[in-house]
Amino acid sequence: MSSLTGTPADADRALKAKHRSMWALGDYPGLADDLLQELGRTLVQASAVAPGERVLDVGAGSGNAAIPAAEAGATVVASDLTPELFEVGRRHAAERGVELQWREADAEALPFADGEFDVVLSSIGVMFAPHHQAAADELVRVARPGGRIGLLSWTPEGFIGQLFATMKPFAPPPPPGAQPAPLWGDEDHVRELLGPRVTDVTTRRKLLTVDHFATPEDFRDYFKARYGPTMAVYRFLSDEPEKTAALDRDLADLARRYDLGTDGTVLEWEYLLLTARRSAEVPAPR
C-alpha cells in the first residue's frame, strides 16, 4: 500500500524509511569525525554526565555524544533511526575502550520506559525528527523526574540552518505536518515544546569553528559527497542540470558569505546548547 492511500501510520513509516536511507547515504560518520567531534564532548560536559548515570543519546548517529558520555563513566544507550551508522560507532567505542548499547529507535516513539534515564541527550539528532512535539514529549517521558535533558541544535540563522534554507528551493516539498529541523535551534520554540514539564532551563548560543576546507567549493564538494540531506537534494535534481548547477553555485556562495579565513576557508557554525531538568512533579500531558 502506498503512503498516499494507506493509514497515517503507513505514511509515517514510509517517511521514516526515507529519512533512514537519507542518513545512511554518503559518509555521515566520517563527516562527524572530521568536523563535529567537539559537539558531542561539549554536550556531555554541559549536561554534567557523571559516572554510574544511565544516559540515553537520541539520534546518536555514530556516537558523537554517546561515546564521550560512556567515557565519563555513564551507562549509555545510543539510539538512532539509522542503525547503519552504528557499525562505525561500535568500532570507535572499542578503540576508546568503552561499551555501550546501540538501539534502533525513532525519537518520536522511543522504546523505553517512563523515567528510565538520569540524562537524555541529543546532539544535532532529535532536531531531525519531523514532528517536534511528539519528539519533545518522548525526551521528557523517558527522563526520570529530576533528571536532565541536554540538547545541542543548529540555529536557523547559523551556517547549517542557512545550508538547509539554501537547499530548500531545490528540494521536494516536505510532507504535511513535517517541521523544519533548525527550529530546534530557536530557544523559544524548544521552551514551548518542553513546556512546564521542565525547570532550570539554560541556553547558550555557541560557535563551532570549521577550518577543514581549503575553499568554499571544497566545502560544497565535501557535503555533496558525504552529507545525506545534501546528497538527497542532488539526487532529486539528477535530471535537471541547470538546477544542479544553480545549487552548486548557491552552496559555494553560502560558504563564501560565511568565510572568515585569509589562508583557507574558516567557517563558524552556530548552535544552541540547552540544558533542563525534568520537573519532579510532571503536569498531565497537554
User: In the complex, which residues of this chain contact ligand SAM (CB under 6 A)?
Assistant: 16, 19, 23, 32, 36, 39-40, 59-61, 64-65, 80-82, 85, 106-108, 123-125, 128-129
Closest CB to ligand SAM among 84 and 211?
Answer: 84
Q: Shortest gap between Cβ of 109 and ligand SAM (angstroms)? A: 9
Q: Under a CB-based contact definition with an 8 Å cutoff, are residues 197 and 114 in contact?
A: no
Closest CB to ligand SAM among 131 and 144?
Answer: 131
Q: Shortest gap between Cβ of 263 and ligand SAM (angstroms)? A: 28
Closest CB to ligand SAM among 61 and 150?
Answer: 61
Closest CB to ligand SAM among 110 and 247?
Answer: 110
Q: Under a CB-based contact definition with an 8 Å cutoff, are residues 236 and 148 in contact?
A: no
Q: Shortest gap between Cβ of 106 and ligand SAM (angstroms)? A: 5
- Which residue minimizes CB distance to ligand SAM? 61
79 forms beta bridges with 58, 103
What does the DSSP assignment read for 191-229?
Answer: HHHHGGGEEEEEEEEEEEEE---SSHHHHHHHHHHH-HH
Closest CB to ligand SAM among 32 and 167?
Answer: 32
C-alpha grid cell for residue 144? 526520570
Residue 278, Cβ neighbours under 10 Å: how many? 24
Q: Shortest gap between Cβ of 242 and ligand SAM (angstroms)? A: 29
Q: Shortest gap between Cβ of 32 and ligand SAM (angstroms)? A: 4
Cα dist. 189→55, 123, 207 in Å?
24, 17, 20
C-alpha grid cell for residue 5? 492511500
